[in-house]
Structure 1
Amino acid sequence: MSRAQEPPFLAEDDASLAARAAWLHHVGRLTQSEVATRLNVPNVKAHRLIARAGREGMVRVFVDGEIARCVQLEQQLCRAYGLAFCEVAPNLDDEPMPLRALGVLGARYLRLVCERGTDPVIGLGNGRTLAACVEHLPRVDAGRIKFVSQLGGFSRRFAANPFDVINRIAERTGAEAYVLPVPFALNSPEDRAVLMAQRGVEEVFALARGASLRFTGIGTVDGHAASLGMSGMIEPEEFDEAARAGGRGEILGHFFDEAGRWVETDLSGRIAAMGPDDLRSGKLVAVAGGAGKPAAIRAVLSSGLLHGLLTDESTAAALLGPQFKL
């Protein structure tokens, strides 16, 4: 097949995806089917990516380019934490929060998920990193996929979360999108029970619980830096309580200590979000990185909840530590 005849999905950022596929196949000794699973693409696309890498001179004795180092980091993170897949974006700049690198990486992942169409209901978190992913997402037809928020989208002052992504992704994909129209944190467990039992709220919550894929960020216990703190969804003293209890990382409103154990606080029974057991159903994929995130990401990784991780090169190296050598 000539270049002019190539299908449209072998374009743009698929050059780096071809390099990843070639490295996994020729160096990692994975079969084409295993490469397809690792990269979350159809088998036929894995075959074409590997063929493209050979045709364009990427494959010699090794795979050319900075992407090879990233693929090595991906392999080691998968082995260290039992991940089904991991993608590492090359460092693009020296910013403490690499939103551009993570946004591009997350957007590509979302695009591939929409193209595959194998997850009929996709749950979304919120935060700066997820917002950056949707910002970089080109317009794509999501078919019959439904997107649903995994946690309440309002602060207790009923201010909308500025990092909410559910409406933005609906605009980019044309898909149906469902919002949990309740505050993230309620005043008491009794208030939560009453509100979550309301018709409409209960239906959206059931849809969220049944998502086959959950895509979210990872937060720290620093209330001044975390998106949930900046948006007013969690108060500073609630972050402090989680930190005193040993919390190091947060995902979808739940805190985990450095050993990956769930940290229960007074807030735990008052949040409009999936329970810890719900997170074990379906596939949980996180996109996170930056200078202040390794401890938080490591805590969530240690929980064993994650199916996949998207991160940046510097964060990946920090997660592995000096004992892991490239």
Structure 2
Amino acid sequence: MSTEHLRLLARVARMYHEQSMRQPEIAAALSISQPRVSRLLKEAVTRGIVRTVVVLPDGVHTELEEELQRRYGLRDVVVVDIEDAREDAIPSLASAAAAYFDATFTGGDVIGISSWSETLLATVERMQPKNTQVADRVMQLVGGVGSPEAQVHATRLIGRLADITRARPVFVPSPGVVGTAAIRDALLEDPGVVDVMAQWRDLTVVLVGIGSLEPSPLLLSSGNAVKQADQEELRSLGAVGDVCLHFFDAKGSAVDSAFDRRVVGIDVRAFRAVERRVAVAGGLRKYSAIKAALDGGWVNVLITDLHVAERLRAEAS
């Protein structure tokens, strides 16, 4: 290649990138055609004369997010910058999740949401009401967990999200956990529950928290935590966390337990069939549960904090 051609490449590149001249202006100044200017700019990139460098702003972790996507086979990752690992992650996670949902709910979705999650409630409270309908239905995935107070929480969460998205709310007319498997089987034949179960097949996105075997302070204080005897059974089976009250072990494999047979909610197969499964979860207390949920393919979109994300990268298998 001649020196003159290289000089022309460099000159066109400088005029466009450093002097902010438009392509028609460059063509006029150099007495060449605009299509040739376009070809020269592309060639300058190909030959390394022009190199694009993206400098990430403070608090933005795009490179880490993309790496976690690749390593865990996820559709998307949002990493929230939290300075102190001991800091309460919920406010920051909720703000980031609210922004994510505001941007990604664009119309026609059938949204499922887990009933008992302080993080999801905080998220929904931060979302802005839409001027147009951006979802068809907002559906409860698990009945109220253990007490009337839990159903009030679920009603508040689902009703608020339905109002924001101008969707129709759909509730599970049942407790989330019942006393025996026989009671659960009878409830699954109730016409109201059957109708909701049929609609779970329409879900396009689910929003969930990831629970650890040890109940959160909120769940513990509410009286809705998994009973001690159930915890002991689950722990003996290797359970480390749950999604929608379906517990899994450290490898992400579902744990077959007596407790699971008493849960009234979406089953594992129907849950996994949903195309977009979004988890909002953070805090190192939940790290083992979060990693297991990713390894087991329970969710394919993760919104988490920087400390959990960095450890996930370091320990990716």
TM-score range, shorter chain: 0.7 to 0.9
Which of 109, 123, 128 matches 1:138? 128
Task: Answer yes or no: is 1:79 the counterpart of 2:66.
Answer: no
Aligned to 2:283: 290
Give the alignment's Cα RMSD to 1 decimal: 2.4
For residues 171-320 of structure 1, the aligned pairs below 5 Å read: 171-223=163-215, 225=217, 227=219, 230-232=222-224, 234-282=226-274, 283-320=276-313
Task: Give unmatched runs, 5+ long, in structure 2.
Answer: 1-50
Match of 1:36 in 2: none
Distance 1:300 1:321 in 2: 16
SS of residue paired to 1:103? helix
Contact kept, 8 Å, 1:128 with 1:163, in 2: the verdict is: no
Deviation at 1:214, TM superposition (A): 0.9
| Inter-CA distance 242–228: structure 2 relative to 1 (3 Å threshold) | farther
**3-state SS in 1 of match to 2:279:** strand
- In the TM superposition, what is the alpha-carbon distance from 1:314 to its structure 2 partner? 1.4
Q: CA separation in 2, counterparts of 1:144 and 1:84?
A: 20
The one-character-per-residue Cα deviations of 1:172-194 (angstroms, maximum 9, x if unpaired) are 33321111121111112221121
d(CA) in 2 for partners of 1:173, 1:315: 30
- TM-fit CA distance, 1:208: 2.5
Q: Which amino acid aligns with 2:78?
A: E
Bigger Rg, which one: 2
1:160 partnered with 2:150: yes
Alignment of 1:78-157 (within 5 A): 78-91=69-82, 95-114=86-105, 116-119=106-109, 121-126=110-115, 127-140=117-130, 141-155=132-146, 157=147
Larger relative helix fraction: 2
User: Conserved in 2, the CA contact under 8 Å of 1:90 and 1:313?
Assistant: yes
Distance 1:105 1:170, change over 3 A: same
Contact 2:208 2:279 in 1 (8 A): yes
Q: In 2, are the aligned partners of 1:96 and 1:291 still within 8 Å (CA)?
A: no
TM-score of the pair, normalised by structure 1: 0.73
- For residue 6 of structure 1, what is the aligned residue in structure 2? none
Per-residue Cα deviation, 1:68-102 (whole angstroms, up to 9, x for no partner): 4x112211211121111111112266654311111
Aligned residues: 262
Shift of 1:200: 1.8
Q: Percent identical across equivalent pairs? A: 28
Which ranges in structure 1 are unaligned for 5 or more consecutive residues? 1-58
Residue 78 to residue 160, structure 1, CA distance change in 2 (3 Å): same
Note the C-alpha offset of 1:226: 7.1
